[in-house]
């Protein structure tokens, strides 16, 4: 067993954090890492050092001069034969940083850690590669099948983002329950209800009106099940579709040729708007202006978009699968993910029954307040303290 000489700043322990999810367009795992580490830094008990693939930094998500551009991230990600080489280079850079300093432990927020002698904590967001392998590229499924069991066995502690995912890890891998800690995600303070005056400057150039569009948010890949949302919207009466277009926001993902064709066909009809990836500054405005968020995902380990929509005072309709009932509770509409008619009915009632929509919005705001990054960080740091305390004895 290696002897770890814990380096501290004052009485605060240093940790190494793989911040690779913050490079390029930031999606769910990057938003998790950012929200968590901002709360950790505010707490002050730990001193993180962030690894950005090519370099280390003490700053969280503030490295524009040296970070890899989104275009380069997408280009490199498409070159599958280069991935082992890129991973090897990143591991070399990571280990070089570890040799230059002394860390109490290593936090990997994205499933598979680099191999080190440090006590390692990993976060598992979902097991969709096991439950729905058909919704992932084959190479990704094979990599996770090969590497995740070992990562789980070797981790000093495993974080999951919902009780649902915790049960999945126990059931699928036989992991001991005491090694797994649920740390529900939080919602940023920038997601809150806004008036039409507050959203007008953002929505007007998009030819959208406050409270007059349905919204779908998420990476365009099969698991998000945008097909059900498109079909549900298409079944609405023409007068409703004309008054309430469907706005789709999300970067292009994988296995989406069929999705792209359907999206383009819907866009050509004129009642679907495709925005692509929406930045952090605009996303709260997009949520706050919507009449409803539709999120019939096939499988989620948590599901940030419904939580962010609820915090924004927007009714949500989500699938009744996986973690989504755990997140939404009684503050949203639950539907079978392939039940197009049920989602159409939810859309129609939300825009035609104002009392119903207002009640959903109020319950969503109240429930969203129970999910905070401070709580996520407190539960996470409790795990970290247990690991570093055990390693030091």
Give me the pLDDT at residue 4, please: 45
Distance CA 249, CA 268 (A): 17
Distance CA 254, CA 153 (A): 29
Distance CA 371, CA 369 (A): 5
Question: Residues 105-111: what's their mean pLDDT?
Answer: 97
Question: Residues 191-204: what's their mean pLDDT?
Answer: 98
Tokens of 47: 């001193």
Choice among 49-63, 154-168, 283-297 with the minimum mean pLDDT: 49-63
Give me the pLDDT at residue 254, please: 79
pLDDT exceeds 50 at position 341: yes
Band the pLDDT of 1: cuts 50, 70, 90.
very low
Choice among 7-11, 198-202, 284-288, 293-297 with the minimum mean pLDDT: 7-11
Strands (E), the chain: 8-9, 12-18, 46-51, 56-57, 105-108, 120-124, 157-160, 180-182, 214-217, 246-249, 272-276, 292-295, 316-319, 333-335
Give me the pLDDT at residue 270, please: 86
Give me the pLDDT at residue 80, please: 60
Q: Are residues 52 and 20 in contact, defined by beta-carbon separation less than 8 angstroms?
A: yes
Average predicted confidence (pLDDT) for the chain = 90
Q: How open is the CA angle 298-315-349, to the nearest 5 degrees?
A: 95
Q: Are residues 278 and 286 in contact, defined by beta-carbon separation less than 8 angstroms?
A: yes
Give me the pLDDT at residue 100, please: 86
Please give the C-alpha separations between residue 373 and each of 15, 51, 226, 293, in angstroms, as whole numbers: 19, 22, 28, 22
For 348-377, what is each residue's pLDDT tens digit? 999 999 999 999 999 999 999 999 999 999
Domains of the chain as residue ranges with CATH: 8-186+373-392 (3.40.50.2000), 196-368 (3.40.50.2000)
Tokens of 255: 């296995």
Distance CA 225, CA 206 (A): 24
Q: In sequence order, what DSSP letters do the residues of 342-386 get, joined into one string?
A: HHHHHHHHHHH-HHHHHHHHHHHHHHHTT--HHHHHHHHHHHHHH
Q: Are residues 266 and 216 in contact, defined by beta-carbon separation less than 8 angstroms?
A: no
Distance CA 157, CA 144 (A): 18
Q: How open is the CA angle 183-186-191, to the nearest 5 degrees?
A: 170
pLDDT exceeds 80 at position 68: no
Distance CA 83, CA 256 (A): 21
Which residue shows structure tokens 């058909």?
134
Choice among 124-133, 208-217, 261-270, 275-284 with the minimum mean pLDDT: 261-270
Of residues 11 and 330, more confidence is placed in: 330
């Amino acid at each position: 067993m290696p002897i770890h000489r814990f380096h501290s700043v004052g009485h605060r322990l240093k940790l190494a954090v793989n911040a690779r999810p913050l490079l390029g367009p930031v999606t769910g795992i990057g938003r998790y890492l950012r929200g968590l580490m901002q709360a950790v830094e505010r707490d002050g008990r730990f001193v993180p050092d962030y690894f950005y693939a090519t370099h280390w930094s003490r700053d969280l998500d503030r490295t524009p001069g040296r970070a890899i551009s989104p275009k380069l991230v997408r280009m490199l990600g498409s070159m599958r034969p280069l991935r082992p080489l890129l991973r090897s280079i990143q591991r070399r850079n990571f280990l070089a940083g570890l040799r230059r300093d002394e860390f109490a432990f290593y936090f990997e927020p994205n499933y598979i850690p680099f191999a080190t002698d440090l006590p390692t904590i990993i976060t598992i967001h979902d097991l969709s590669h096991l439950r729905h392998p058909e919704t992932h590229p084959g190479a990704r499924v094979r990599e996770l099948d090969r590497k995740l069991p070992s990562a789980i066995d070797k981790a000093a502690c495993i974080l999951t983002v919902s009780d649902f995912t915790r049960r999945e890890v126990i059931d699928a891998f036989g992991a001991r329950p005491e090694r797994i800690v649920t740390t529900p995600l939080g919602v940023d303070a920038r997601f809150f209800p806004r008036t039409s005056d507050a959203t007008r400057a953002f929505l007007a150039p998009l030819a959208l009106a406050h409270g007059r569009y349905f919204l779908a948010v998420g990476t365009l890949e099969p698991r998000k099940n945008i097909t059900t949302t498109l079909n549900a919207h298409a079944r609405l009466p023409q007068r409703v579709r004309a008054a309430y277009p469907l706005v789709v926001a999300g970067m292009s993902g994988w296995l989406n040729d069929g999705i792209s064709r359907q999206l383009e066909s819907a866009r050509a009809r004129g009642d679907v708007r495709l925005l692509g990836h929406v930045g952090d500054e605009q996303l709260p405005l997009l949520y706050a202006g919507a009449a409803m968020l539709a999120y019939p995902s096939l499988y989620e380990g948590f599901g940030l978009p419904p939580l962010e929509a609820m915090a924004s005072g927007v009714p949500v309709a989500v699938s009744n699968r996986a973690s989504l009932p755990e997140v939404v509770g009684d503050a949203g509409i639950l539907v079978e993910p392939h039940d197009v008619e049920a989602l159409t009915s939810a859309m129609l009632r939300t825009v035609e029954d104002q009392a119903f929509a207002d009640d959903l919005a109020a319950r969503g705001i109240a429930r969203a307040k129970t999910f905070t990054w401070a709580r996520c960080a407190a539960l996470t740091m409790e795990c970290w303290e247990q690991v570093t305390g055990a390693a030091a004895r």
